[in-house]
Amino acid sequence: MKLINGFDLMDYAKERGLILPAFNTTNMELTYGIVKGLSEAGLPGYVQISSNNLRLSNPYIIADLVRDATKNCDVPIGLHLDHGKSFKDVKECVDAGFTSIMVDMSALPFEENMIESKKAADYCHLYHVPVEVELGALKGKEDDIVSDDNAKTNPSQVPIFVEGTGCDTLAVAVGNVHGLDLKPHIDIPLLEEIRKVSKVPLVLHGGSGIPKEVIWECKKHNLVKINYGSDLRRAFIGVFGRAYEANHDEFDVIHLSLEAVDAVAEKAKELVTMINER
């Protein structure tokens, strides 16, 4: 199946009452594993990659990998830029064929965040590509970036920010965290407040570690997308780690890579099924 446009993917999920998982990739094995897991589950979602991880490849290589992985796939899958850190990255990803974009200028002051996010959104909308923005800050480790910030999204800023950026979805900070070292504590009343004043659907980053019952509750508050990275990376790395511990002379890269694809697929299938089982 051809990669699906992000607007169409969200419409597909809304019509069926589904939450869309967005699984972070870095390389070929993770990419094929994510697509395999979604296919086996028969449920839609995103393959996504952050600006930080594009250092290992480039948007065109990732887009080609995802197109190849999905060519025989029967479920709708989008390709998303996660934490786009510059207009250059946003533009290159749209030009490469990404079907959904996140621009993350959350480290900037509010007004600058809004201005830079709108610039990216305007470019994406020329090509009918939806844009996610972030308001607030998550504590924890995202790729190799460590943050001690824990600034929850301020509901009073949400209408101004959504209007000012022209965004299509809003990533919020409501006690969710990046990585596996910290425990998330989702503030459902705050999420409800945000939902009441947001004209666009909401996104949760840092899905790893959030109990399914909490995710189901978040779904009631216009949650359309939830991100997962750490769970899949642990499944991928674990294959090679166990092989090395068992035999320090292990060199069968192809066998281990295929095993890693299956491990990632199993985890992706488990997660997409879990968040949508009720």
Sequence-distant (6+) residues with CB within 8 A of 166 are 118, 121, 122, 125, 131
State the pLDDT at residue 142: 46
Q: Spell out the domain ranges in the chain.
A: 6-275
Is there a contact between 235 and 264 (Cβ–Cβ < 8 Å)?
yes
Active-site option among 82, 104, 168, 231: 82
State the pLDDT at residue 147: 42
Q: Which long-range contacts (CB under 8 A, 24 or more apart) does 70-75 make?
A: 70/1, 70/2, 70/3, 70/35, 71/1, 73/1, 73/35, 73/38, 73/39, 74/1, 74/39, 74/42, 75/1, 75/38, 75/39, 75/41, 75/42, 75/43, 75/44
Phi, psi (rounded to 5 degrees) for 50:
-85, 160
Is pLDDT of 272 > 50?
A: yes
Is pLDDT of 225 > 70?
A: yes
Does residue 82 have an active-site annotation?
yes
pLDDT in tens, 43-64: 999 999 999 999 989 999 999 9
pTM here is: 0.92
* CATH 2.60.40.10 matches 6-275: no
State the pLDDT at residue 150: 54
Say how far apart CA 229 and CA 82 lie, in whole Å: 11
Which residue did the predictor score with more confidence, 151 or 270?
270
Compute the mean pLDDT over every residue in the chain, rounded to the nearest whole number: 92
Say how far apart CA 222 and CA 90 lie, in whole Å: 26
State the pLDDT at residue 200: 98
pLDDT in tens, 185-218: 799 999 999 999 999 999 999 888 899 999 999 9
Provide the CA 264 distance to its chain's centre, in angstroms: 15
- As given in the structure block, the two tokens for residue 35 are 């697509």
pLDDT in tens, 162-187: 999 999 999 999 987 654 545 667 99
State the pLDDT at residue 151: 78
Say how far apart CA 231 and CA 18 lie, in whole Å: 21
